[in-house]
Chain A
């Protein structure tokens, strides 16, 4: 029976208007509403459903980030996860944290916790990297089923339907494997209040990247963060000839 490791990330809530910091080093996060990355909610839901269908024995949620990441983990616990691991990353390390580091952390934890399956959201809505699942699989040398919109468990094999540009692709992977959840995989349940209360009693372990032998080394430097350019007003042209002339003018034809 499978033990499932689910990666969850605390991100700025999708409905909040992002603001670039005046010094252009990043976006304002202080005091801004955060919530669990929506694709990670879907990943947690899938893992919990596997447990309810008796396809998994234990679900463990992991989050890398500052103290507030524990709130995200509590939501996961309230959704039905059995235990949580908070890998604390703060200050300079937090600014440097990239999917490669998270993948190393998840890979190490997958081994330590003897996981049979690692599920994460396909991408985080703040950086849109879409890298963690793939890199984790590579580090573990496990097969990957990314953009999963359907997961079926067979004997030591998972049948994944993947959402790709051309439509849907079905692949079979041997477990242990790494999966990433896409939008249509499921509709996550609500974390109801009685479950939030119960979640307080579930175990939440705190670790640092160092405990796992991972160094948060900078591989890249963010030079500047800017607002996208303000959209210029369009203009209506009276006929096709004018349109063609304007396109030529603008160097588009």
Chain B
């Protein structure tokens, strides 16, 4: 399966093989994107001018989330302190800063305190200090509270509940005020390389390509942004990071990254039930003991009585009939949970993959010409369920290392610069200390005892030994290898949506505000168009129709004759990346659509 991924690389021999396969395949013709159907020999592109405008910056940052913006701000701080001119450009695929941000979230302000100590005076939207912290194990009808004591990873005293999208928007305003160039609405779609193979920068997406892959009248090439150092902050499972990891063998010494999907809603609830600063987490029902996951419910302190509620399902689940979205919906119907939502109104919905691999899955972070920061590398502390402070800190450390090499006038200009000191600095920081001490918690769920084994391990070893135990447990392989064939599994009976507390998928997708230009090639590309029906549907009963939180994938009957085909509703996509992670054949390759498309989250 890794071979399928390697086909991505622009290697003429494998491209020829792919083209041959495409023209000899019998049924489906789904994928038209140029990353799978190249334009070089396509007659429709013969007379099109493919030149790109080029511009030069000192540092280009791909992704304007907490990590990317922290890196940008730290770089500018260093440049200003040292009286140096530095051109820093941030490209972000969302049309507005924070537009694609989605997180619980309960954050530690550790990194923010370092980056912008006077954040409170500057109007940072951190208005909900944690007041109450609850943890429980749910059974089908009951709730067993588990006390949270200081020292436990989920002890949240001193932390803040935050609408991360608003924090990102605020960070964007700070960055702009400092003279950092932010370009929301422009996606980095291609990594550029110098002759020596080091990263030269990125190219933004082309626009005006029709759904069938041909150029439209409004076709325009993206532009090239060259940089001495390019920092990749794409968030969990970045598509360019996937290519870089292959090209520079960044994962040779690391375990494959392991993921979860987090679904989230924001509700306006009855003020009588609202308690700002209350943080609640549960494990157990509705998931079985062998499926890792749980819920969060945070009461925000804003103008209206808002709560953020969500559910995480680890993507190493085995039953292809599992639907993370429907698990989330039925979680809300639990007797101890539903009362919060009765009489309330759902005002937002969204989903995003998150990384759970922790320490064991951290790849090599630097390569000639750039580095990886934030969730695209994977610094989420799983037992704490916090990755924002570690993402920000990684951005700051990368910036410090990048600054040194970029500001040095003696460095060569014909090759990309590698911020080598970044990885060492990170290893010596609290980021690694935390991740190292938490490293065995998540894998401890992989025994036959499942959830109970995990809780026991956390209780015994984490609390007592704090991760100092000399062994490191393994995740046991990539998430997509864990799915069992449908014939070996039992379909799950999910309750129907009641329209008051639980909802159906399409109604929920409408709340994400997601949209894409309809007339463009689907950005959910398939390396092999026949594989969905022949493999995913045949063996696993089409799990993508269940794990996609936006209804992108649908198996529909063929217009003529028997059989099914895969219909990709690319416009619904909310950029969560779950399909690219969980597809059992690794046939789905998510690439970035035209910039500006995707969800329109407001403070998620």
Nearest opposing residue in chain A for B166, CB measure = A31
Binds A, one of B135-143, B214-222, B351-359, B440-448: B214-222
The reply on A250 being an interface residue by CB < 8 A is: no
Q: Does A187 contact B (CB under 8 A)?
A: yes
Residues of chain B lying within 8 A (CB to CB) of residue A31? 165-166, 169, 602-603
Smallest Cβ-Cβ distance to B54: which chain A residue: A194
What residues of chain A lie closer than 8 Å to B99, measured between beta carbons? 33
A159 at the interface (CB under 8 A from B): no
Q: Within the complex, which residue of A15, A188, A197 is in contact with B513, where a contact is CB–CB below 8 Å?
A: A15
Q: How far is the CB of A16 from chain B (nearest CB, A)?
A: 4
CA distance A189 to B603 in the complex (A): 30
Please, which residues of chain B bring their CB within 8 A of the CB of A196? 183, 186
B510's nearest neighbour on chain A, judged by CB, is: A17
Q: Is A13 an interface residue (CB 8 A)?
A: yes
B220, A33: Cβ atoms closer than 8 Å: no
User: Binary interface profile of A, 184-206, with partner B (CB < 8 Å = 1, else 0)?
Assistant: 00011110111011000000000
Which residue on chain A has the smallest CB distance to residue B98? Answer: A31
CB of B600 within 8 A of CB of A33, answer yes
Instruction: Judge whether B218 and A194 touch: CB under 8 Å.
Output: no
> Distance in Å from the Cβ of B220 to the closest Cβ of chain A?
5
B513 with A16: CB separation less than 8 A: yes
User: Which of chain A's residues 158-194 have a Cβ closer than 8 Å to chain B?
Assistant: 187-190, 192-194
A187 to B166, CA, bound (A): 34
- B241 interfacial by beta-carbon distance below 8 Å: no
B217 touches A17 (CB 8 A): no
Instruction: Assess whether B95 is in contact with A15, with CB atoms less than 8 Å apart.
Output: no
The reply to whether A33 and B95 form a contact with Cβ atoms under 8 Å apart is yes
B186 cross-chain contacts in A, Cβ below 8 A: 193, 196
Chain B: CB-nearest residue to A13: B600
Residues of chain B within 8 A of A193, CB atoms compared? 183, 186, 204, 222-223
CA distance A196 to B207 in the complex (A): 14
Question: Nearest chain-B residue to A22 (Cβ)?
Answer: B304
Cβ of B104 under 8 Å from chain A: no
Closest to A68 in B: B96
Interface string of B511-554 (1 = CB under 8 A from A): 10111000000000000000000000000000000000000000
Residues of A within 8 A of B603 (CB): 31
- Docked pose: A194 CA to B99 CA in angstroms: 22
CB interface residues, A 1-48, toward B, < 8 Å = 13-17, 19, 22, 31-33, 35
How many A residues, CB 8 Å from partner? Answer: 20
- Which one of A14, A188, A190, A197 has the greatest number of beta carbons of chain B within 10 Å? A190
Specify which chain B residues have a CB less than 8 angstroms from the CB of A13 in the assembled complex: 95, 513, 515, 600
> Is there a chain A Cβ closer than 8 Å to B23's Cβ?
no
Are B207 and A192 in contact, CB atoms less than 8 angstroms apart?
A: yes
Q: Which residues of chain B have C-beta atoms less than 8 A from A190's C-beta?
A: 207-208, 218, 220
CB 8 Å contact bits of B257-280 with A (1 = contact, 0 = none) = 000000000001000000000000
Known: A15-B513, A33-B95. A194 touches B223 (CB 8 A): yes
Closest to A34 in B: B96
Question: How far in angstroms is the closest Cβ of chain B from A46?
Answer: 14
Per a CB cutoff under 8 Å, which of A16, A17, A35, A189 touches B220?
Answer: A189
Assembled-state Cα–Cα distance A32/B218 (Å): 28
Assess whether B55 is in contact with A17, with CB atoms less than 8 Å apart. Answer: no
User: In chain A, what residue has the closest Cβ to B507?
Assistant: A17
Residue of A nearest to B225 (CB): A193
- Give chain A's interface secondary structure class: loop
CB nearest neighbor in A for B268? A22
Please report the C-alpha to C-alpha distance between residue A16 and residue B601 in the assembled complex, in whole angstroms.
Answer: 9
The winner among B99, B169, B304, B513 for most chain A CB atoms within 10 A is B513
**Contact (Cβ within 8 A) A197 B55:** yes
- Per the 8 Å Cβ criterion, residues 213-260 of B in contact with A are 216-218, 220, 222-223
Taking a contact as CB atoms closer than 8 A, the residue among A15, A17, A22, A33 that contacts B96 in the complex is A33
> Is the beta-carbon distance between B602 and A194 smaller than 8 angstroms?
no
Contact A192 B223 (CB under 8 A): yes
A15 partner, pick from B53, B55, B181, B515, beta carbons under 8 A = B515
Min C-beta distance of A94 to chain B, whole Å: 19
Please, which residues of chain A bring their CB within 8 A of the CB of B511? 17
Question: Does residue B347 face the partner (Cβ distance < 8 Å to A)?
Answer: yes
Question: Which partner residue on chain B sits nearest A189 by CB separation?
Answer: B218
Contact A32 B602 (CB under 8 A): yes
Q: B156-182: which have CB < 8 Å to A? A: 165-166, 169, 181
- Report Cα–Cα, A103/B207, bound state, in Å: 35
In the docked arrangement, what's the CA distance between A158 and B165, Å? 48
Q: Which B residue sits closest to A191, measured CB to CB?
A: B185
Q: Please give the distance in Å from B516's CB to the nearest CB on chain A.
A: 9
| B600 x A16 contact (CB < 8 A) | yes
CA distance A197 to B225 in the complex (A): 12
Interface positions of B from 546 to 604, Cβ below 8 Å from A: 600, 602-603
Tell me the complex Cα distance, A192–B347, Å. 33
Q: How far is the CB of B302 from chain A (nearest CB, A)?
A: 11
> How many angstroms between the C-alpha atoms of A197 and B186 in the bound complex?
12
Q: Cα distance A19–B304 when bound, in Å?
A: 14
CA distance A193 to B216 in the complex (A): 18
> Contact at A194–B55, with CB atoms within 8 Å?
yes
Q: Which residues of B contact A188 (CB under 8 A)?
A: 218
Query: B268, A15: Cβ atoms under 8 Å?
Result: no
User: Given contacts A35-B95, A189-B220, is CB(A19)–CB(B347) below 8 Å?
Assistant: yes
Task: Return chain B residues, CB-CB under 8 Å to A187.
Answer: 216-218
In B69-110, the 8 Å CB interface with A consists of: 95-96, 99
Give the docked Cα–Cα distance between A35 and B165 (Å): 18
Q: Mark B301-338, 1 if CB is under 8 A from A, else 0.
A: 00010000000000000000000000000000000000
A32 and B602 CA atoms in complex are apart in Å by 6
**Residues in B whose Cβ lies below 8 Å from that of A194:** 53, 55, 223
| Residue of B with least CB distance to A31 | B602
Task: Choose among A13, A15, A19, A22 the residue with the greatest number of B CB atoms under 10 Å from its CB.
Answer: A15
Most buried by B among A22, A32, A193: A193
A31 to B218, CA, bound (A): 30
**Additional pairs, 19, CB under 8 Å, beyond known A22-B304, A192-B220:** A13-B95, A13-B515, A14-B515, A15-B514, A15-B515, A15-B600, A17-B510, A22-B268, A31-B165, A32-B602, A33-B513, A33-B600, A189-B218, A189-B220, A190-B208, A190-B218, A190-B220, A194-B223, A196-B186
**Partner-A contacts on B (CB < 8 A):** 53, 55, 95-96, 99, 165-166, 169, 181, 183, 186, 204, 207-208, 216-218, 220, 222-223, 268, 304, 347, 510-511, 513-515, 600, 602-603
- 23 CB contacts below 8 A, A to B, read A13-B515, A13-B600, A15-B513, A15-B515, A15-B600, A17-B510, A17-B513, A22-B268, A31-B603, A32-B600, A32-B602, A33-B95, A33-B602, A189-B218, A190-B208, A192-B207, A192-B220, A192-B222, A193-B222, A193-B223, A194-B55, A196-B183, A197-B181
Which 6 pairs from chain A and chain B are nearest by CB?
A15-B515, A33-B600, A16-B513, A31-B602, A190-B207, A194-B53
